[in-house]
């Protein structure tokens, strides 16, 4: 099942002219800059990374 999903996403990215690897790297970097705190026992994002 994973292979099918990966193939579909890869095909769509090619059709749309999107560099999938670059977009994933941007997303991982953005997520790494977010700040979280535990508030009332729930992990909550308290600061969003802004480009």
Rounded distance between C-alpha atoms, residue 2 and residue 31, angstroms = 23
Which residues, at least 6 apart from 31, have a Cβ–Cβ distance to it below 8 Å? 49
- Whether 45 and 34 have beta carbons less than 8 Å apart is answered as yes
What is d(CA 22, CA 42) in angstroms, rounded to the nearest whole number?
31
pLDDT at 5: 96
> Which pLDDT value is given to residue 50?
74
pLDDT digits (tens, 9 = 90+) for 1-51: 999 999 999 999 999 999 999 999 999 999 899 999 999 999 999 988 776
Q: Rg for the chain (alpha carbons), in Å?
A: 16
């Amino acid at each position: 099942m994973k292979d099918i999903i990966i193939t579909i996403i890869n095909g769509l990215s090619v059709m749309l002219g999107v560099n999938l690897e670059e977009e994933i790297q941007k997303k991982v970097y953005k997520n790494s800059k977010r700040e979280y705190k535990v508030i009332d026992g729930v992990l909550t994002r308290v600061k969003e990374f802004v480009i």
